[in-house]
Amino acid sequence: MQEKNISANNFEQCQKCSLCETVCPVMANNPEYGGPKRSGPDGERYRLKNGIFYDDSLKYCLNCKRCEVACPSGVRIADLIQQARIDFNRRPPKLRDMMLASTDQMGPVASAFAPIVNFSLGLAPVKGLLDVTIGLDHRRTLPKYSSETFVRWFNKHAAASQDSFRKHVSYYHGCYANYNYPQLAKDFVAVMNAFGYGVHLIERERCCGVAKIANGMIEAATRDAKINMAAFRKSISAGRDIITVSTTCTMTLLEEYPELLKVDNGDVKAHINLVEQFLYKAIASGEVKPVWKEGWKARAAYHCPCHQERLGLGIFTTELLKMIPGMELIELESNCCGIAGTYGFKKENFKVSQMIGRPLFDEIAAVAPEFVACECETCKWQIEMSTGVAVKNPVSILADALDLQKTSELNSL
Amino acid sequence: MPINNEFDVIIVGGGITGAGTARDCAMRGLKVLLIERHDIATGATGRNHGLLHSGARYALKDSESAEECIRENKILRSIASNCIEDTGGLFITLPEDADSGFGLDYQTKFIDACIKAGIDAQAISPEEAREKEPSVNPSLIGAVVVPDGSVDPFRLCAANVTDAAMHGAKILVYTEFLDFIREGDTILGVKVLDTRTGLKAEYRAPVTVNAAGIWGHGVAAKAGIHIGMYPAKGALLVFGHRVNNVVINRCRKSADGDILVPGDSVTVIGTTSTKVPFEECDNMEVTPEEVSLLLREGCALCPSLASTRILRAYAGVRPLVADDSDPSGRSISRGIVCLDHETRDGVKGFVSITGGKLMTYRLMAELATDAVCRKLGENKLCETAETPLPGSVDGRIETVSKRFEGKVSLGQKSAAGRQGDLVGKLRFDSEADRQLVCECENVTLAEIKYAVAELGVTSLMDLRRRTRVGMGTCQGTLCIRKAAKALAAALGDPSLEGKLAADYLDERWKGMRAVGWGDTLREMEFMQRVYKYEKPYSYDEI
């Protein structure tokens, strides 16, 4: 018998049961894509034999990780595919991909000229030009930039008061909340402050790197990862856990750093908390007490983002939202919305992206909620564009449903 | 009973030696009949490491074999490029080898002997060895680089058979040798049985060549001739993927489990050497002791084998010509034995070619064909050392896969690797042809159709030998019904599907059972569930 009963080579644990293929949203919609089993564990054997067997169709994987959730053998299928793309795809990233991936380089520029950028990006001729020149699909509604970033706002209006709280957390806001939608981050600060937590920024926060990984910019992603990890360690040693709001950033920090970027996070992992998980636990244990607005009512549908499915933390979101009196929460079927970060922005993926999202869009139309509750920013873009139904982050829903004043008073006692 | 007299030579045995002899005879213009009781390459030919020996292993104790090996090694590189892979090889010295007298002094002697035999052997430092082959045991104290490689014995055998047929040879598989047709002291031909139809037939030729490997002992016995053969069982394990990309050998006296060969999509460790009775040669089972021994020795070469999935175990029988004075069989020369039974035993029209090894099959075939030609009074020269085999005229995957139009699919690239430059014969006419049947080994329906139409396939085992269908991680669990359906349709009898699949899975099961733990055990459970599913209970019973 062998020393270890189960292969140390993760891809060899695949039993070829093909369950992953039944959940892959791309395979069902793009015949060019071989699917997770073939691109992942099957392909890995042949790539180990000879790099010539790297197949270009791996680019169609949108890294939703549903295959990994489905796999009964614990094979990190999507990671195998991402890793193969890193190892074998020798084509330099296109200008478009670099622009899409460099969220924290594009962000400051776009924010500085936000009114012009937003206006221009909304114009049909500009979108047509971007489509033709760099392959950004013209049918896509492009995210807006905010003229004042969250960080600027925070330093101006909130930073000074944070030390006065008894308890403290560090906030990893991510690029989206900083450049595109500071209101989410402001809501976060308001909710955390109301529950008695002082909020602090991570020193020199960098983009988590998910878009860079997806677009083959591994060195840049690794550099950023190391900076983030150093900042996290500093924060943790000061007694502040890290709170995140974006599910994709969270998955990247927790899973992709060690697996794909080979940046160790073993000592930090337990201190990174998704906000819904953190708040649910705090409320359920009595650590903090919410006071809800009288007569607040909503009928919402919850869409669980793919990366939340992978993290397995969606239950905290639904249970947290159900704590709100007056909340009627309908949990949608588990489906991918199709955008997968930068994937759906690319011209070559637009059609497949919309086909993948179709079952979700149809269900939302049938349920006809007031709004969709969802933790993910790119799901928000996709669902709002494709259904016309507003998507709210659970943190913003809490900020709305909580009586912040009374909550604050109750928790500062 | 039909009697056929149109042949110059009948070759008994469709292993590599028989196939090579058939090719050589046919290329020299002889009318050839090859008979094989199973499929080609089912005996020792298909049951070895697939090591393209540099000869280094024999350099110290048998310089003649070593010289033969390196000569044939160079020839095969030029004539069989599609069947071999130039991986290079390492002979490593471990700290424990130094303790048992095989330290760096031995390495020096080893290198000297290699160079004397014409083998390019160069010592490198342990650091260089680790760099060259990262999976090697990092505690090694020395390493020698030699021109080892890997060879696909199925492919090599099939290429020889194909070329023989292209030169007019008649190939009869599933045709069992029963007895000789004999008149006095002259062999006039053979009596055979078609094992699929049950029909008997006779074939006549002035010369019959016994190339039946270990079974040649029995063939010769039918002529009343004794060849003292020594059936030495060798067991091997197949690991789930390419663990190493360079052959790793142990630089010491040959022992069990000291060669690790990367071949196609897997790695093979071997081998053992056990004397077995002739009766067991037809049904080899790998014992738990052999598995343990191979694993222990394999881990010394490459520690990660301890935690690598094992797909299956198998064993073959070396057709050694016995030396009764040595019970272990290790010090026997693996030299070629070509016997003209007229001079040796007074039986005319009969030649035996045996001993030798996969590496020297071409030379064996040349010697046997020379003997046949002498008997027939022919004096054509052997051209097999210069003429590339079919598929190997330009066998590199990179160049061959360019033959397809448009974007080359994974299935096409894999087929190019297996079929070499014959891959142009695959027809990708429909979407179905492009579909993968076997996803572990990237076998398309087009490749299956080609193998059935052109490579003489009648069972899924035959198909496996020509395409690798069902040889991957799942051992046929996912693909074999699809392959069976395609094969049954091609054979013109769709009702065969179930039987074809069952026969195949039984054979796979045998190899998996010997290593049935961990991931492989799960695979076996899964295979059982898929194919033997019985509803375990009904809701009413609960």
One-letter amino acid identity for B283? N
Do residues A168 and A276 both lie within one domain? yes
Quick: pLDDT tens for B174-188. Answer: 999 999 999 999 999
Contacts of B242 in chain A (CB under 8 A): 45, 48-49
- Residue to mutate among A50, A56, A60, with most B CBs inside 10 A, is A50
Do residues A261 and A329 both lie within one domain? no
Q: What are phi and psi of B6, to 5 degrees?
A: -85, 10
One-letter amino acid identity for B391? G
Copy the structure tokens of residue A69: 């959730």
To the nearest whole Å, the CA of A43 is away from the closest chain B CA by: 8
One-letter amino acid identity for B260? L
For the four alpha carbons of A46, A52, A55 and A59, in that order, the dihedral sign comes to positive
| Closest residue, chain A, to B477 (C-alpha) | A16
Residue A24 lies in a domain: yes
Copy the structure tokens of residue A85: 């793309």
User: Residue B228, class by beta-carbon neighbours within 10 Å (0-12 exposed, 13-18 middle, 19+ buried)?
Assistant: exposed
CB contact under 8 Å between B413 and A52, yes or no, is: yes
Contacts of B417 in chain A (CB under 8 A): 50
Quick: pLDDT tens for B97-145. Answer: 999 999 999 999 999 999 999 999 999 999 999 999 999 999 999 999 9
CA distance B250 to A118: 68
- Percentage with pLDDT > 90 across chain A: 77
pLDDT, position A129: 78
DSSP letter at A217 equals: -
Contacts of A54 in chain B (CB under 8 A): none
Give Cα A106 to chain centroid, integer Å: 18
For the four alpha carbons of B409, B411, B417 and B420, in that order, the dihedral sign comes to negative
To the nearest whole Å, the CA of B324 is away from the closest chain A CA by: 35
To the nearest whole Å, the CA of A355 is away from the closest chain B CA by: 22
- Candidates B306, B413, B526; nearest CB to A15: B526
Which residues 6+ apart lie within 8 Å of B101 measured at CB? none
Do residues A74 and A111 both lie within one domain? no
- Residue to mutate among B293, B307, B520, with most A CBs inside 10 A, is B307
To the nearest whole Å, the CA of A2 is away from the closest chain B CA by: 5
B397 at A interface, C-beta within 8 A: yes
Q: What number of other Cβ atoms are within 10 A of residue B476's Cβ?
A: 26
B82 at A interface, C-beta within 8 A: no
What is the radius of gyration, based on Cα positions, of chain B?
23
B480 at A interface, C-beta within 8 A: no
Domain boundary among A110, A134, A158: A134
B42 at A interface, C-beta within 8 A: no
CB contact under 8 Å between B473 and A53, yes or no, is: no
**Helix H or strand E segment including A241:** strand A241-244
**Placement of tokens 């014959």 in the chain:** B422
Contacts of A11 in chain B (CB under 8 A): 241
Which residues 6+ apart lie within 8 Å of A105 measured at CB? none
Quick: pLDDT tens for B522-537. Answer: 999 999 888 875 555 5
With cut-offs at 50, 70 and 90, classify the pLDDT of residue B334: low
SS3 B49: coil
Do residues A19 and A34 both lie within one domain? yes
The answer to whether B423 and B473 have CB atoms below 8 angstroms apart is no
Q: Which of B118, B138, B120 is nearest to B128 (CA)?
A: B138
CA distance A393 to A173: 13
The number of domains in chain A is 4
Among the listed ranges A224-233, B50-59, B208-217, B328-337, which one has the minimum average pLDDT value? B328-337
pTM above 0.80, yes or no: yes
| Closest residue, chain B, to A46 (C-alpha) | B265
User: What burial letters (b/e) apply to B125-155, b meaning 16+ CB within 10 Å?
Assistant: ebeebbeebebbbeebbbbbbbbbbbbbbbb
The answer to whether B436 and B409 have CB atoms below 8 angstroms apart is no
Q: Which of A164, A162, A101 is nearest to A134 (CA)?
A: A101
Instruction: Write down the mean pLDDT value for chain B.
Output: 92
Confidence check: pLDDT of B540 > 80:
no
Do residues A61 and A187 both lie within one domain? no
Do residues A166 and A256 both lie within one domain? yes
The answer to whether A213 and A219 have CB atoms below 8 angstroms apart is no
User: How far, in Å, are A36, A58, A344 from residue A26 at the CA level?
Assistant: 9, 11, 12
Which strands sit side by side in the sheet containing A327-331, from one edge to the other?
A: A327-331, A298-302, A371-373, A391-392
- Residue to mutate among B519, B520, B521, B531, with most A CBs inside 10 A, is B519
- Percentage with pLDDT > 70 across chain B: 95
Do residues A329 and A217 both lie within one domain? no
Residue A140 lies in a domain: no
Q: What is the ipTM of this complex?
A: 0.90
Average pLDDT (B51-61) is 95
Do residues A282 and A161 both lie within one domain? yes
With cut-offs at 50, 70 and 90, classify the pLDDT of residue B332: low
Quick: pLDDT tens for B239-250. Answer: 999 999 999 999
pLDDT, position B150: 96
User: What burial letters (b/e) apply to A158-197, b meaning 16+ CB within 10 Å?
Assistant: bbeebeebebbbbbbbbbbbbbbbbebbbbbbbbbbbbbb
Mark out the alpha helices in B329-360 (DSSP H runs): 341-345
- Candidates A15, A34, A45; nearest CB to B523: A15
Do residues A351 and A248 both lie within one domain? no
Confidence check: pLDDT of B371 > 90:
yes
Residue A139 lies in a domain: no
CB contact under 8 Å between B472 and A15, yes or no, is: no
**Placement of tokens 């950004």 in the chain:** A136
Residue A201 lies in a domain: yes
B523 at A interface, C-beta within 8 A: yes
Average pLDDT (B430-438) is 93
CA distance B90 to B109: 16
pLDDT, position A108: 78
Q: Which of A298, A289, A197 is nearest to A243 (CA)?
A: A197
CB contact under 8 Å between A3 and B307, yes or no, is: yes
CA distance B382 to B365: 10
Residues of A with CB under 8 A from a CB of B: 1-9, 11-18, 34, 37-38, 41-46, 48-50, 52-53, 55-56, 73
Do residues A232 and A315 both lie within one domain? no
CA distance B240 to A48: 11
CA distance A62 to A170: 30
To the nearest whole Å, the CA of A54 is away from the closest chain B CA by: 8
Which residues 6+ apart lie within 8 Å of A236 measured at CB? A242, A268, A271
pLDDT, position B329: 47
**Of A47 and B406, the one with more pLDDT:** A47
CB contact under 8 Å between A8 and B308, yes or no, is: yes
With cut-offs at 50, 70 and 90, classify the pLDDT of residue B333: low
CB contact under 8 Å between A6 and B518, yes or no, is: yes
Quick: pLDDT tens for B63-72. Answer: 999 999 999 9
CB contact under 8 Å between B410 and A6, yes or no, is: no
**Residues within 8 A of A (CB atoms), B 420-459 only:** 436, 439-440, 442
Residue A142 lies in a domain: no
Do residues A122 and A223 both lie within one domain? no
Confidence check: pLDDT of B324 > 50:
no
The answer to whether A313 and A274 have CB atoms below 8 angstroms apart is yes
Residue A393 lies in a domain: yes
Cis peptide before B271 (omega within 30 of 0): yes
Residue A143 lies in a domain: no
Do residues A206 and A159 both lie within one domain? yes
- Kindly give the confidence (pLDDT) of every residue in chain A, 413 residues in length, as a single tens digit, with 9 standing for 90 and above: 677 777 888 999 999 999 999 999 999 999 999 999 999 999 999 999 999 999 999 999 999 999 999 999 999 999 999 999 999 887 777 888 887 777 777 777 777 777 777 887 777 888 787 787 778 888 888 788 888 999 999 999 999 999 999 999 999 999 999 999 999 999 999 999 999 999 999 999 999 999 899 888 899 999 999 999 999 999 999 999 999 999 999 999 999 999 999 999 999 999 999 999 999 999 999 999 999 999 999 999 999 999 999 999 999 999 999 999 999 999 999 999 999 888 888 888 899 999 999 999 999 999 999 999 999 999 999 999 999 999 999 999 999 999 999 999 999 87
The answer to whether A320 and A386 have CB atoms below 8 angstroms apart is no
User: Which domain does A128 fall in, by range?
Assistant: 95-134
- Candidates B242, B473, B518; nearest CB to A16: B473
Residue A315 lies in a domain: yes
CB contact under 8 Å between B526 and A17, yes or no, is: yes
Length of chain B: 542
Quick: pLDDT tens for B139-166. Answer: 999 999 999 999 999 999 999 999 999 9
Confidence check: pLDDT of B254 > 70:
yes
Contacts of A42 in chain B (CB under 8 A): 439-440, 442, 472-473
Copy the structure tokens of residue A249: 């950033």
Identify the CATH number of the domain in which residue A354 sits. 3.40.50
- Candidates B242, B295, B417; nearest CB to A2: B295
